[in-house]
Amino acid sequence: MAKSLVWLLFLSSLVCHVFAVVRIMPLGDSVTAGVSGCWRQVLWQNLAQSGLEGQFKFVGTQKSLFSCPGEYDLEHEGHVGYEAIGIASKGQLSGWLNQVKPVDIGMILLGTNDVWRGRSVVDGEAAFTKLVEQFRTQKPTVRILIAQIMNLQPRGVNCGSTCPQAVSAWNEMIAAVASKLNTPQSPVIAVDCFTGFDIATDTQDGIHPNSGSGTQKVAACWQEPLEKEIRAVIAAEGGKSSFISEYM
């Protein structure tokens, strides 16, 4: 009897290891929701082709608004028109996390709507800090990637010519927040999605990545840091807590 129990426990550990899934929440606005382009689909496929197929899953309360070719996870947490400051001040992330937890990795691409509506960098810093806290509340060892936003020049709307300066200020703040909040237990890393992104050739409207080069560049900026964090979760935890939540 004792030997049978040991054998069953051994088999269970193998199953958990084989079917471990690292759960990733892409949090953002219309850029993440996929108003234009299919960068989440491209990123998902690139990660799968890197040897991680079956070992990660995008999660969220939302599903893709538009159809993209090929296999990928439709789930995300992109909300059209939302601001980092608004999501944080209303405590919305906590509610979304409660519906899909645990989340092993948080991907944050927010700030575009804040910038073109003239929101302050100080309020933005407080918002990102609160979002990190909310991610950590649902899982203290969560790993968080915060994107430095792409340049924008909305056509005839709000910030106009001042947008590039505002983007620069927000991106400096994002890098500072990531550095300040980063810990060995719960890393917070700034991801450079700004460098090399061209408003004229990579957007369809001065804001949203187009379906060509813009989509490819946004997927590419996430690829290396996200792959690294997925592998770190697998090495540290084997994804076992996520497996238990999803399959038991």
pLDDT digits (tens, 9 = 90+) for 52-63: 999 999 999 999
pLDDT of residue 30: 94
Q: Does some domain include residue 10?
A: no
Domain region containing 172: 21-241
pLDDT of residue 215: 95
pLDDT of residue 188: 98
Domains held by the chain: number: 1
- The mean per-residue pLDDT over the stretch 204-230 comes to 95
pLDDT of residue 112: 95
140/154: higher pLDDT? 140
Distance of CA 157 to the CA centre of its chain: 27
How confident is the prediction for the chain on average, in pLDDT?
88
Contact 145, 229 (CB under 8 A): yes
Distance between CA atoms of residues 212 and 201, nearest Å: 9
pLDDT band at 67 (very low <50, low <70, confident <90, very high): confident
Distance between CA atoms of residues 226 and 118, nearest Å: 30
- The mean per-residue pLDDT over the stretch 14-24 comes to 66
Q: Does some domain include residue 107?
A: yes
Alpha helices (runs of H) in the chain, residue ranges in sequence order: 2-18, 30-33, 39-47, 84-89, 92-100, 112-116, 121-138, 163-181, 199-202, 213-237, 240-247
pLDDT of residue 246: 43
Q: Does some domain include residue 4?
A: no
Q: Does some domain include residue 97?
A: yes
**pLDDT tens digits, residue range 33-52?**
988 779 999 999 999 999 99
- Which residues contact residue 175 at a Cβ distance below 8 angstroms, ignoring those fewer than 6 apart? 148, 190
pLDDT band at 163 (very low <50, low <70, confident <90, very high): confident
Q: Does some domain include residue 12?
A: no
What number of other Cβ atoms are within 10 A of residue 220's Cβ?
A: 15
Q: Does some domain include residue 13?
A: no
Distance between CA atoms of residues 116 and 152, nearest Å: 8
pLDDT of residue 244: 41
Q: Does some domain include residue 147?
A: yes
- The mean per-residue pLDDT over the stretch 124-133 comes to 98
CATH number of the CATH domain containing 187: 3.40.50.1110
Q: Does some domain include residue 203?
A: yes
pLDDT band at 156 (very low <50, low <70, confident <90, very high): low
